[in-house]
Amino acid sequence: MSVTPVTVAAYAAPAAKAPLERTGVPRRPVGEHDVLIEIKYTGICHTDIHQTRDGWGEGIFPMVPGHEIAGVVAEAGPGVTRFAVGDRVGVGCMVDTCRECAYCLSGQEQYCVQGITGTYNALDRNGEPTYGGYSTHIVVDENYVVRIPDGLALDEAAPLLCAGITLYSPLKHWQAGPGKKVAIVGLGGLGHIGVKIAHALGAEVTVLSQSLRKQEDGLRLGADHYHATADPNTFEELAGTFDLIVSTVSAPLGLDRYLGLLKVDGALVNVGVPEEPVSLNLFSVVLGRRTLAGSMIGGIAETQEMLDFCAEHGLGSQIEVIRAEEVNEAYERVLAGDVRYRFVIDAATI
């Protein structure tokens, strides 16, 4: 077992808004409860773009993004009990939490009262910066690692580690299932997986996309209905329709219009996190006792449950695999809405 940090190849943004470039970053020695993962694939989440461009502020640079990591265990610390060398594993958005608070103890580590240690753009509990999955290897405590079932290809599984769990968790929490009308707003990386999962849970699924451009895809992914939000008739036609709306939109959303699409007691759950604040007319929630909510990723056990569910139902992400040097171009394409539906970096090209 190594005792000193090793340097591994990675793609990093050297400063806010700077293009990503190839570099080296340190990985800590494999500790008692750590696994060293040889990364095979890493998804590109829109969060990577918000953060490398400092859209949410307080970025730590150089920044190696990537929190949709799929790989294989290359080494296991002596105290590791859940994984062995060769296991197919995944890492999502968090690599540590306090492990003591009510949320950590109830499998909702993502809401740890002390805050999560993000997989990147964070300081770990020793004050060292964390570096994400646009890299060849990563060292992670086994408690923050999940198993990728054999039925899922590693490249199609990678985006499930963030996009998949971010949709699965609220869909389960707000009980999407038979008899429920669920709308997914935005058919991007998160949205397309949301359509698949909501359909597999048995809900009646509607896609609300800016245009009808992706209608065929949406229906093929499992949606029962598809509407363009650029068409003002959509909001009249669908008023009072949904039990649950999950918005994955990365830009500010006209909340009042979407709240109007809910039934009495319906919920609009935002998982998209725009860079600017949004405003609201409170009549939109008072009328109809509606709920406006948010949701962040999911717990570790729930992430495992989601992966097992996806394997059982044959749900992978629809991906376009790219070489690492194409990452800046891929970012531009995500911003232009030109992604169907997740870019995944082949780590062998780093």
Binding interface with ligand NAP (CB under 6 A): 45-47, 50, 162, 166, 186-191, 209-210, 214, 248-251, 271-273, 295-297, 334, 337, 339
Q: Which is nearer to Zn ion, 96 or 204 (CB)?
A: 96
Query: Which ranges of the chain would DSSP assign to H, the alpha helix?
Result: 46-52, 102-105, 154-157, 163-173, 189-200, 215-221, 233-237, 255-259, 283-286, 300-313, 327-335
Nearest residue to ligand NAP on Cβ basis: 188
Q: Which is nearer to ligand NAP, 260 or 272 (CB)?
A: 272
Q: Which is nearer to Zn ion, 92 or 260 (CB)?
A: 92
247 DSSP 8-state letter: E
Tell me which of Zn ion, ligand NAP, none is bound by residue 337, counting a contact when its beta carbon lies within the kind-specific cut-off of 5 to 8 angstroms.
Answer: ligand NAP
The tokens describing 308, both together, are: 């097992």
Q: Which is nearer to ligand NAP, 83 or 144 (CB)?
A: 144
Tell me which of ligand NAP, Zn ion, none is bound by residue 170, counting a contact when its beta carbon lies within the kind-specific cut-off of 5 to 8 angstroms.
Answer: none
For residues 189 and 177, give the distance between their C-alpha atoms in angstroms, rounded to a whole number.
Answer: 22
Q: Which is nearer to Zn ion, 120 or 258 (CB)?
A: 120
For residues 36 and 74, give the distance between their C-alpha atoms in angstroms, rounded to a whole number.
Answer: 6
Tell me which of Zn ion, ligand NAP, none is bound by residue 296, counting a contact when its beta carbon lies within the kind-specific cut-off of 5 to 8 angstroms.
Answer: ligand NAP
Q: Which is nearer to ligand NAP, 104 or 187 (CB)?
A: 187
Q: What is the largest CA-CA distance in the chain?
A: 64
For residues 160 and 92, give the distance between their C-alpha atoms in angstroms, rounded to a whole number.
Answer: 8
**CB under 8 Å to 21, separation ≥6 — which residues?**
11, 12, 14
Instruction: State the nearest-atom distance from the C-beta of 102 to ligand NAP, in Å.
Output: 20
Q: Which of 69, 162, 184, 306 binds Zn ion (CB under 5 A)?
A: 162
Helix, strand, or coil (residue 65): coil
Instruction: State the nearest-atom distance from the C-beta of 217 to Zn ion, in Å.
Output: 21
Instruction: State the nearest-atom distance from the C-beta of 74 to ligand NAP, in Å.
Output: 27
By CB under 5 A, tell whether 303 contacts Zn ion. Answer: no
Binding mask 37-76 for Zn ion (x = CB under 5 A): --------x-x-----------------------------
How far is residue 90 from each of residues 15, 220, 259, 294, measured CA to CA in Å? 28, 27, 35, 25
186 HSE (CA, 13 A, CB side): 26
Tell me which of ligand NAP, Zn ion, none is bound by residue 249, counting a contact when its beta carbon lies within the kind-specific cut-off of 5 to 8 angstroms.
Answer: ligand NAP
Q: Which is nearer to ligand NAP, 82 or 257 (CB)?
A: 257
For residues 177 and 173, give the distance between their C-alpha atoms in angstroms, rounded to a whole number.
Answer: 11
How far is residue 339 from each of residues 37, 315, 322, 334, measured CA to CA in Å? 28, 18, 12, 6
> Which residues contribute to the site for Zn ion (CB under 5 A)?
45, 47, 162
